[in-house]
């Protein structure tokens, strides 16, 4: 029942990325596809990691930052020291993300206010907007 494996083409289809991107991520040790002969096979784990990568990118994290975070999600066997470092790094990232969320909340509020302003200005000029 090794049907959980996917070829590179299927991966590209599923996650809307190019082969180049997947090979690049492998080279950067973000994912670890196995080989069947020459060809790459992507496991469920690879897919989970890819999801996190794409998510991380949306938040403006660099691939290197993401790579470190990813380790947190697969810390079965590591030595305790390494694990502790990873753990602390993740805490930092968490603070990062919570801070970003705060900021984002504020920015959204600001933007909404501006939009309201735009509303009235456009209304004053007699422009009808598409009802949301």
Partner DNA sequence: CCTTTGGTTGACGTTAACGTAAACGTTAGG
Partner DNA sequence: CCTAACGTTTACGTTAACGTCAACCAAAGG
Can you give the binding site for a second copy, defined by CB under 8 A?
A: 55, 57-61, 69, 72-73, 75, 80, 83-84, 86-87, 90-91, 93-94, 97-98, 100-101, 103-105, 107-108, 111-112, 114-115, 118, 121-122, 125, 127, 129
- Residue 50 has a CB neighbour count (10 Å cut-off) of 21
Backbone angles phi, psi at 126, to 5 degrees: 75, 30
Nearer to DNA, 14 or 78 (CB): 14
Residue 37 found at the interface with DNA (CB under 7 A): yes
Stretch in the footprint of DNA (CB under 7 A) among 35-43, 83-91, 103-111, 122-130: 35-43
Is residue 30 within 8 Å of 63, Cβ to Cβ? yes
* Smallest distance from DNA to CB 61, Å: 8
Number of residues that bind DNA (CB under 7 A): 19
Nearest CA among 20, 19, 1 for reference residue 11: 19
- Helix H, strand E, coil C: the string for 15-54 is HCCCHHHHHHHHHCCCCCCEEECCEEEECHHHHHHHHHHH
Residues between 62 and 101 with contacts to DNA, criterion CB under 7 A: 62-64
List interacting residues with DNA (CB under 7 A). 7-10, 12, 18-21, 23-24, 37-40, 57, 62-64
């Amino acid at each position: 029942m090794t049907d959980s494996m996917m070829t590179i083409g299927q991966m590209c289809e599923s996650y809307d990325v190019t082969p180049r991107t997947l090979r690049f991520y492998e080279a950067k040790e973000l994912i670890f596809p196995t080989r069947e002969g020459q060809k790459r096979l992507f496991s469920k784990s690879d897919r989970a990691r890819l999801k996190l990568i794409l998510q991380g990118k949306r938040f403006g994290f660099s691939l290197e930052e993401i790579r470190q975070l990813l380790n947190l999600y697969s810390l079965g066997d590591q030595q305790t020291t390494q694990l502790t470092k990873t753990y602390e790094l993740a805490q930092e990232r968490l603070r990062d993300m919570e801070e970003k969320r705060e900021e984002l909340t504020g920015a959204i509020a600001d933007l909404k206010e501006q939009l309201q302003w735009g509303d009235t200005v456009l209304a004053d000029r007699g422009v009808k907007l598409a009802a949301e």
